[in-house]
Structure 1
Amino acid sequence: MYANAKLEARMVKLGLGQAELARLVNAEIEKLTGRPGALDDADIRRWLRGKTKWPQDRIRLGVERVLQASAVDLGFTPRSKKSEEDDVHRRTFLTATGGTALAVAASKKQLSLSDVDLFQRQYICILEDDWRVGGGQKVENQAVELALRIRSALTAGTTSSQVRKRLHRLASDAMSSAAFAAIDAKSHQRARVHLEKAVTFAGLSGDSETQYHVWNHLAMTACQRGDFSEGAAAADVMRSLAIARRDPIYTSLGHMRNARALAKMNQPSDTLRSLKAAEKSFHRARETERPTWIAFYDQSEVCGLAASIWFALGQYERAEYFFHQTLSEIRPEMIRNRALYMTHLALAQACQGELELACFTGQTAYEMLPPAYGSKRATDMLSKVRLSLISSGSKSPEVTEWIERSHQWT
């Protein structure tokens, strides 16, 4: 800890490094005097170490504007009572002569890490809603609105480069969540629009994990609309990003998306190679702090995605085994995923001729759906179960009754 603890604490709160604080103060000095300041990080260290007790007037005013606190509150010590009085007079004079530009600069809010934390909490609430009820319009709208609020805050305020990058990252994550809500609702066009905006924010963040998040959804969107070649290409981009080279979890998910696309293109050998690589990478991963959005990709999700891949390859019995594994391990809060995988299990059972069991599983899945459920993927899968049962021609009372009952909600 430096001798000037107050200044150090304020810099930490605003996410400012020494060199960046010097740059921002130099810019404020230019607004005040018409000539840029000449501070560098060595000057900031002298302040922090207490070597400079009371900076010159123009410097002190620049510091106060950047850090939005008085010099005294920032740990500087005036040389005398007269210095404080002179400082008040000088500040009044400079403010009066600075005109409109200074008024505008002073009116801008300095965004800090506390603002990042506030937006982050709002983002987590949106994720939790998505896990519970799926891609409803409410979840999608909330995510879009959050991204817009973040962008407005950046436009109206000033900030350090660290805070700015984190806010761009959050805006990208919010738009990616909006895109996923649209994917879950099977609205491909809306998803693409949201992802285009997410790509822009991700680029501004300069963060490979944020870029990975966007490409993950681009891979899903491509496969959902039947463009499996583009889905495989998007998965290749995922695996090429720096975060995938550093963390096996991201490597694993990239392989899994690739395997899914390859299975749909009827390339079984390449599919199984990618699936094996995904499982191997997942088991190499260590417990560490990761962004909230990727918390869905745990052992239950690995089994669920593997089950979907086996199903796409026509291996219905093996797919059923993995769907059971998923449902036995999935976390309680993942309501949407539990219902979705239950519908997949019902279809796998129907494809094996286990018709009465498929009816029971399908009914169980439907009863899991909350009233405000927004996942069209789940209801569409129940429709496929119903069509499979109809095409079987079974006259079993259990089957015919379920076909009639399910007509109301598929």
Structure 2
Amino acid sequence: MTTSRNATLEAWMKEHGYSSNSLADAVNSAVGDLTGRVGGLDGSSVRDWKAGRVRWPKSATRVALEKVTGLPATALGFVPRGRAPSSAPAPPPEDPVERRRFLTAGTALAAAAAAPASGSSRRVGTSDVVRLQQRFAEIVASDHRHGGQPVIEQKAVALADEALALQSAGSSTQRVRAFVYACAAAFRSSAMWAAIDGRRYNDAVRHMREAQALAEMAADPAIKFRIWSHAGTLYRHMGRPSEAIAANDVARNVFLTRRDPMFACLGHARQAACYGLAGEATAAQRALDHARDALERADPAVARPAWMTAVSNGAELESLALAAHLSLGNFAQAEAHAHHSLALLHPHMQRDRALNTARLAHAQLGQDEIAPAVATAMSIPPELVARHPRVTATIGDFGHKLRTRAASSPLTHTWDEYAHAHLRNTA
């Protein structure tokens, strides 16, 4: 099999004054910071990267390299396993403070997994599970603020690997072992969601398969529900409504949905969005009615995972109803649900707020309310449009529909000037 040189990495090393040996030393040190054990690379390892003989370094090495360079591995010319080389441009640089925080968040956990035990065997216990769950809560919180950034996806994968490393770090009870597998599945499901949100669908499919296998080993109904529900969303965004409906059916049939109506609410609401994409108006409305009934029956005082926060207060139901009615062309109903969702979303959920505001602009445009639609679209901070691929795509589609519907309107000219001056990749 022929290999192609990694010219991108070579150019980065030349620009920053790294030889093969000095880059190996820097990455080894970063591996030590991450895992508690200095890495074992040498100059020949880096030469293998440059020659293209190693196209995707191992996870700890990859994260360490990203820490040294401040760039995701894909921006350095590396190609994930199973993916063909792409000529697509690299993603925009990520905030360095945010990146450092994520790259160091799991250091204590990794060190705990890798450190030698005192005695013949380290005991993996509930304190390890608590640390994993804390890291998971951080991933969820960052998703709410920043959406599907590659750094979130990468950190979630690294944490999944660290969780699995605990399984071989020492002995544990069957219950703790199941919890650790559940945490690994949860991290993989977050990587999957970040990839979906970033419109990196091939990566999302890969994470989905890993997460599904881990969830089966964990026998955790909540995380199994999350993974299959996300699978439905993945297929919906890929424009494959039949598979989306089938995946959501698996989620809705998890026993947890019969025990806790809040999960049933989310299952029905996501199914409604899939029916909307398929053009099945009656089925979509029926699913929304079931979701609302389940939400009314749910006990808000029951403890649930952090990722269910927007479901508990009805914001997610309104968001999915918005998506369903927008797909069906029911623009007045979509507008009403958009206003409801924006009133219910928590302030830190910046990605969802920007996305639903963009959808509101579509709903207003669909009713020929040109001036309100343009004002709504222009109310989204440009940095949020640029940061979130789904928002970028939705606003780009808005501009296209505006030019089609009202080509001669002065407001269309106003929008085009605004988009040219303030928005990227929305034409």
**Same fold, judged at TM 0.5 (above):** yes
Paired amino acid for 1:379: T
Paired amino acid for 2:159: L
Offset from partner CA, 1:347-375 (integer Å, 9 cap, x none): 1111211122211111112347187x2x2
1:228 matched to 2:241? yes
Q: Look at both structures and tell me which one has the larger radius of gyration over its CA atoms.
A: 1
**Distance in 1 between the 2:117 and 2:343 partners?**
59
Q: Is the 8 A contact 2:272 2:283 kept in 1?
A: yes
Deviation at 1:107, TM superposition (A): 4.0
SS, match of residue 365 in structure 1:
coil
Deviation at 1:259, TM superposition (A): 1.5
1:403 matched to 2:416? yes
SS, match of residue 308 in structure 2:
helix
Offset from partner CA, 1:34-79 (integer Å, 9 cap, x none): xxxxxxxxxxxxxxxxxxxxxxxxxxxxxxxxxxxxxxxxxxxxxx
**Distance in 1 between the 2:365 and 2:397 partners?**
10
Q: What residue number does 1:330 align with?
A: 345
Q: What residue number does 2:209 align with?
A: 196
Q: What residue number does 1:305 align with?
A: 320
Offset from partner CA, 1:208-267 (integer Å, 9 cap, x none): 111111101110111111111111111111111111110101111111122211222222
Ranked by relative contact order (alpha carbons within 8 Å, sequence separation 6 or more), the top structure is 1
**Distance in 1 between the 2:333 and 2:262 partners?**
24
Paired amino acid for 1:212: F
Query: 1:85-124 counterparts in 2 under 5 A?
Result: 106-124=119-137
Q: Is the 8 A contact 1:339 1:368 kept in 2?
A: no
TM-score, scaled to structure 1:
0.72
Relative to structure 1, is the Cα distance of residues 104 and 307 closer, same or farther in structure 2, using a 3 angstrom cutoff? closer
1:240 matched to 2:253? yes
**Distance in 2 between the 1:305 and 1:214 partners?**
17
The root-mean-square deviation of aligned C-alpha atoms, in Å, is 1.8
Q: What residue number does 2:167 align with?
A: 154
Q: What residue number does 1:32 align with?
A: none
Say which of 365, 388, 394 aligns to 2:401: 388
Paired amino acid for 2:224: Q
Q: What residue number does 1:260 align with?
A: 273
Query: 1:3-402 counterparts in 2 under 5 A?
Result: 106-287=119-300, 288-297=302-311, 298-367=313-382, 369=384, 373=387, 375-402=388-415
Identity %: 30
**Distance in 2 between the 1:380 and 1:370 partners?**
9
Q: What residue number does 2:67 align with?
A: none
Deviation at 1:207, TM superposition (A): 1.4
Structure 2: gaps of 5 or more residues: 1-115
Q: Is the 8 A contact 1:389 1:403 kept in 2?
A: no
Q: Is the 8 A contact 2:275 2:324 kept in 1?
A: no
**Distance in 1 between the 2:299 and 2:348 partners?**
23
Offset from partner CA, 1:277-320 (integer Å, 9 cap, x none): 11111111002101112223231221111111111121101110
Paired amino acid for 1:333: H
Deviation at 1:404, TM superposition (A): 2.9
Offset from partner CA, 1:359-402 (integer Å, 9 cap, x none): 1111112347187x2x2111100001100111123433332121
SS, match of residue 368 in structure 2:
coil
Paired amino acid for 1:310: H
**Distance in 2 between the 1:314 and 1:272 partners?**
13
**Distance in 1 between the 2:404 and 2:135 partners?**
46
Q: Is the 8 A contact 2:235 2:244 kept in 1?
A: yes
SS, match of residue 256 in structure 1:
helix
Paired amino acid for 1:289: A
Q: Is the 8 A contact 2:126 2:176 kept in 1?
A: yes
**Distance in 1 between the 2:160 and 2:167 partners?**
11
Structure 1: gaps of 5 or more residues: 1-102
Offset from partner CA, 1:313-342 (integer Å, 9 cap, x none): 211011101101111121111111111101
**Distance in 2 between the 1:394 and 1:357 partners?**
16
**Distance in 2 between the 1:396 and 1:222 partners?**
37
Deviation at 1:108, TM superposition (A): 3.0
**Distance in 2 between the 1:148 and 1:340 partners?**
31
Q: Is the 8 A contact 1:179 1:195 kept in 2?
A: yes
Deviation at 1:205, TM superposition (A): 0.6
Paired amino acid for 2:215: A
Paired amino acid for 1:267: E
Q: Is the 8 A contact 2:406 2:412 kept in 1?
A: no
